[in-house]
Structure 1
Amino acid sequence: NRKGPPMIQAVTTPQQQAEYRRRIAGKPYFESVLGTHLALFGAHPASGWMFYLLPGTAVLELRGGSGALCGGLPDDEDTREELQGFLRFLHVDCLRCEHPLPAAYANTWQSGKPLTLWTLPQGHALPPPKPPAGKWGLTLDTAPSMLPISRLVFAESDAEADEFYSTACTALAHGYGTCRALLYNGKPVCTVGCYEQSTREAYMAAGVTAPEWRGRGLAGWLIASLANELAAEKDVCFLCLPHLREFYQRLGFVQNGMIQQYTTDWNIK
C-alpha cells in the first residue's frame, strides 16, 4: 500500500490557496476563472465549489458533475487510479483541461470538440465596428439587471439561468466583473460580460444575441467594445466553439491555443 500524504489534497488552508494560485498563474483562462472562483467560494464549502491540489503541478476545480483541470499530471498508475476513483466517486463526467489527458485515460474519457482560446493583449485594441446603439431603438446599458440577462443567456434552461444569475451577481458584487447589454424597450437583446478576472487577465463570457436580433452586428460591436475597454488594463481572453472561429478572427482577436474537453459515462465503465 502507498504511504505518505494523500495525492489529492483539498484546498483549505491559506498555504494551500497560495500554492493553488501559484500553479494557475500565467495560465490563460485558468488564472482568471479558477482564481476568481477560489477567491469567491474557496472559504464557503456549502457553495458547491471544490478545489484540489493534485500530484505534479496540477489543480482541479469541481462543481456538480463538471471539472476544470489545469497543470501537468504524472503519467503513472498510482496517480491515474487515485484520480479516476476520486472522479468516479463524485460522479464527475465532464472535464475541461489545459493539456490533453495521458493516453492511459482514453479507455474512460472521450475527447470532445476542443474550445479555441482567444486573446487581446493588454494595450492593444480591436478596430471598433460601427455602433448599433441608437439604431432600431436600441440603448446601451453598462450595468443591466442580471435577472433578465440570465434568462437571455440561458433561455432554454431555468436551472442554468439561476446558476449563472447567482454566480454572476456574486462576482459583480465583489468587483470581479462587469456586464454590457443592448436593450430594446427595456429588455436585453444582446449581452456580453466579464465575470472572472485576475490582476493580469480578464475573462469574457456569456456573449449572446436573441435569435430575432441576430445578423445585425450587435454582438460584434458589443464584444469588441468591452474587449477594448478591458484591454486598457489587462490581457483579455475567452473561449469559443469551433464554428465561431471565423467570427472572432474577423473582429481581430488572436488565437492563443486550445482547451480540451472530455466526457465519460461512469454507468457503463
Structure 2
Amino acid sequence: MIRLVESAADIARFQSALADGSNPVAVETAVRFAAFSGLPGSGWKFYTGGEGEEPFALAVRGASALLCGSADGEEAALLLKVLGAQRLKTARPDPLPGWRQNAAFRVFHAPAGGPKARPLPEGFWLNEAPSLLGVTEFLWGGESMTAHHDRRSTDTFYSEICTMRNRGLAEIWTLEESGVTAATAGAYAVTGNAALLSAVETAPAFRGKGCAGALVCALARQFCEQGKAVCLVARPGVEGFYEKLGFEQRGLTYGHAAPEND
C-alpha cells in the first residue's frame, strides 16, 4: 500500500530505496527529499510502501514525478493520475499500467579520480557563486530547459535551486568574460556520496572555445576529490561531448508519459 511519508519508519523505507548512488534518479530524489520534505509549500509530495513491502521512493511535484524501486503498478498509476502527474523519470524501463516509455537517456559517470583537467579558455573568469537568478535566465534562454519554457516553471526552478544551494545540496558555476556569462554547469543534486551534474549550457557566441568542457571537468574533479561518485544524464545529441571528456556510459534513465500525455 502506498503511503505518504510521515513517520520515522516511512522515512527509513523511503531512504532505503535511494541507496544506489550510481543511479541519477536516486540522487535527484534524495536531494529533493532532503530539501523539501519539511516544506509543504514547495509542492513536493513523497510516498513509499508499507511495512514489509519492497522499498520504493516516489516523489511528485506538479506534472513531474521521480520513482526509485518497484511500487505496485496499478496503485502507483492511480495515485499519479489523481495527483495530475504526466511525466515520470525512473531507472526502470517497464512503464506503469497505461503509461508508455517515451525516452531513454544515456547515463555517464566520471572515471575514478575524475576526468582530466582542462584549462579555462584565456580571458575567462570562473565564478563559483554566481547570481542564481542570472543562471536561471541564462538557462531559459538556451537549450537546456526548452521542454518547459514558461515563466511559472522559471520561477519554480529559481526558487528550488536557491533552497538547494543554501542547504549545500547544489553547486552551480559559470564562466564569464568581461562580466558576460559565457557558460554554466552545475551539480543540481549533491548528497554525501554522489553528485549529479546537469544544466550544462554555453551561449552561442562562445561555443567552440572549450568553456563547457572546462567547467564540467573542474566540477567533476572537485567532487571526485571529495570521494563522491559523479554522474550525469546526457540529452540526445551531446553524448559524444561527454565521451571526449573521459566520462563512461553506464546504464540508462527512462522517461515515461501518462496516457493523456501523448
Structure 1, residues 147-205: CA drift from partner, whole Å, max 9, x if none? 11110111253333222211111111111222211113323220011131111101111
Q: Does 1:118 align with 2:108?
A: yes
2:25 aligns with one of 26, 30, 35: 30
Q: Does 1:169 align with 2:162?
A: yes
SS of the residue 1:266 aligns to: coil
Task: Give the Cα separation in 1 of the matches to 2:78 and 2:26.
Answer: 27
Q: What amino acid maps onto 1:209 in structure 2? A: T
2:57·2:69 contact (CA, 8 Å) conserved in 1? yes
Structure 1: tracts of 5 or more residues without a match: 1-6, 74-78
Task: Give the Cα separation in 2 of the matches to 1:36 and 1:8.
Answer: 21
Q: What's the Cα RMSD here?
A: 1.9
1:119·1:236 contact (CA, 8 Å) conserved in 2? yes
Deviation at 1:18, TM superposition (A): 2.0
Deviation at 1:31, TM superposition (A): 3.5
Task: Give the Cα separation in 2 of the matches to 1:191 and 1:51.
Answer: 30
- Give the TM-score taking structure 1 as reference length: 0.86
2:168·2:190 contact (CA, 8 Å) conserved in 1? no
- Of the structure 1 ranges 28-37 and 92-101, higher mean CA displacement relative to structure 2 is found in 28-37
Deviation at 1:207, TM superposition (A): 0.9
Q: What amino acid maps onto 1:230 in structure 2? A: F
Aligned to 1:97: 90
Q: What amino acid maps onto 2:30 in structure 1? A: G
2:5 aligns with one of 11, 18, 25: 11
Q: Report how many aligned residue pairs link the two structures.
A: 250
Aligned to 1:57: 55
SS of the residue 2:117 aligns to: coil
Task: Give the Cα separation in 1 of the matches to 2:139 and 2:132.
Answer: 10
SS of the residue 2:238 aligns to: helix
Pair 267,190 (structure 1): closer, same or farther in 2 beyond 3 Å = closer
Aligned to 1:248: 242
Q: What amino acid maps onto 2:13 in structure 1? A: E
Aligned to 1:76: none
Structure 2: tracts of 5 or more residues without a match: 142-148
Identity score, percent: 29
Q: What amino acid maps onto 1:113 in structure 2? A: A
Aligned to 2:146: none
Pair 113,82 (structure 1): closer, same or farther in 2 beyond 3 Å = closer
Structure 1, residues 77-113: CA drift from partner, whole Å, max 9, x if none? xx333222211111211111111125x72xx222222
